[in-house]
Structure 1
Amino acid sequence: MISAQLFHNLNKYARITTDDFAVIESKLSKKFVKKRKALLMEGDVSRYVYFVEKGALRSYTVDKEGTEHVVQLVVEEHWIGDLCSFVSQSAGNINIEAIEDSEVLLLAHHDLEMLYEQIPQLERFFRQLFQRAYVSLQQWHNAAQSEHAEERYQQLIKEHPHIAARIPLIYIASYLGITPESLSRIRKQLFS
């Protein structure tokens, strides 16, 4: 299978040898997900974490009124999952759906736990990944409380220009916590 993308990604926060990587790869499976198809549904137990090799995905929740709220937008070389469900191995409240035809690598919870014992650097990688995800979530929450939507949008396109270029505006608006119409007005003001 040899995924250069994954090898590079794992070595961002850890020192994974080629021998260790071969062990990790032996535990991965690949899944193709068609555009608008679900990878995970609310109520399911998240048995896997997903690494995006190709495509774009979103995670979202649905409130009591049926409104979707985007939690995460990812493209190649990023991880996605329902972390609460994955860690606790209990039913989750996150949906994950492909925005584009996508290819993802799946790493099962039980395999990851076993790999932590075999490859301490992998545990270091995921600790770093989860810590950074938590910090990012906290910063995003704080920004939502203290910054205008225009500022949050500018920050998003500055840090992740690929998101703005590939993700439909309706999902970006939901991620920002605003209506698509508000996002259109913001974009018109910024780019006119």
Structure 2
Amino acid sequence: MKNFLINNFEISESDAEVFSASFERIDLIKGEKFVDFGKVSNRIGFVEKGLLKCTLIGNDKSVIDDFVFENQFVANYYSFLRQKKSNKEIVCLKNSKLRIITRKKLDELANKHSFIKKIARQVSEQLFISTAKKLEDFRLLNAEERYSKLVKMNKRFITEIPQYEIASYLNVSPETVSRIRNKFTLPS
């Protein structure tokens, strides 16, 4: 986690040590929830090992919003920031090891260390850019182009995630994913 912080947020090794030492280690088993639908999300996790799925829930339906792999932060950031009930659940797709920090602990840390506010701002900016890009892709790219982009981004999508879940993420049918998948060869 320290190396990730140093490389992605351009902070000193001592600042990265202070921040990472504030996180608690937890183990979650496949199927266990990290964020519960309908509850306020009061923690952020950093995935050291594992794979999680974020599912938006509403109007009697659900759709996969994202997948979270190693060396990524995970949270319902909207619920965390606004202290509103979560409109999604985040579930482990396989046994996972996370480092977590509570909102209270993060606020205490931010009051003591100015670099925490810099990290929070950069995380917010990255999330905004990622969300805007995803929305743009849904509006401008067809299903095959979105699938191709997904595979190029991380080939683990097609080796570790079931086809029906990829279909939900791409907002297409599993049969469409199957047809598209047959046209592609795995990138090396």
TM-score, scaled to structure 2: 0.91
Query: Are 1:115 and 2:109 counterparts?
Result: yes
Runs of at least 4 residues of structure 1 off by over 6 A?
Answer: none
Query: Are 1:137 and 2:131 counterparts?
Result: yes
The answer to whether the 8 A contact 1:38-1:95 is kept is: yes
2:2 corresponds in structure 1 to 7
The answer to whether the 8 A contact 2:41-2:85 is kept is: yes
Question: Taking every aligned residue pair, what percent have the same amino acid on both sides?
Answer: 25
CA apart distance, 1:44: 0.9
Structure 1 residues 164 and 123: alpha-carbon distance in aligned structure 2, compared to 1, 3 A threshold? farther
Unaligned segments of structure 1, at least 5 residues: 1-5
CA apart distance, 1:102: 0.4
For residues 137-169 of structure 1, the C-alpha deviation after alignment (integer angstroms, 9 at most, x for no partner) is 111111111210100010111112223222222
CA apart distance, 1:118: 2.5
1:157 corresponds in structure 2 to 151
1:3 corresponds in structure 2 to none
1:103 corresponds in structure 2 to 97
SS in 2 for 1:95: strand
CA apart distance, 1:52: 0.3
SS in 2 for 1:102: strand
Question: What are the within-5 Å matches in structure 2 for residues 30-49 of structure 1?
Answer: 30-49=25-44
The answer to whether the 8 A contact 2:151-2:158 is kept is: yes
Query: Are 1:147 and 2:141 counterparts?
Result: yes
Question: Which segment is superposed worse, 36-45 or 6-15?
Answer: 6-15
2:24 corresponds in structure 1 to 29
Give me the CA root mean square deviation. 1.8
Measured in 2, the distance between the counterparts of 1:101 and 1:92 equals 23
Task: Select the residue among 46, 53, 56 that pairs with 1:51.
Answer: 46
Question: What are the within-5 Å matches in structure 2 for residues 55-70 of structure 1?
Answer: 55-65=50-60, 67-70=61-64
Unaligned segments of structure 2, at least 5 residues: none
Equivalent residue letter for 1:75: F
The answer to whether the 8 A contact 1:31-1:104 is kept is: yes
Structure 1 residues 93 and 151: alpha-carbon distance in aligned structure 2, compared to 1, 3 A threshold? same
SS in 2 for 1:114: helix
Equivalent residue letter for 1:16: I
The answer to whether the 8 A contact 1:41-1:95 is kept is: yes
Measured in 1, the distance between the counterparts of 2:137 and 2:21 equals 40
Measured in 1, the distance between the counterparts of 2:96 and 2:178 equals 27
Measured in 2, the distance between the counterparts of 1:112 and 1:169 equals 37
Equivalent residue letter for 2:38: G
Question: Which segment is superposed worse, 77-86 or 115-124?
Answer: 115-124
The answer to whether the 8 A contact 2:44-2:101 is kept is: yes
Pick 1 or 2: higher relative contact order, CA cutoff 8 A, min separation 6: 1
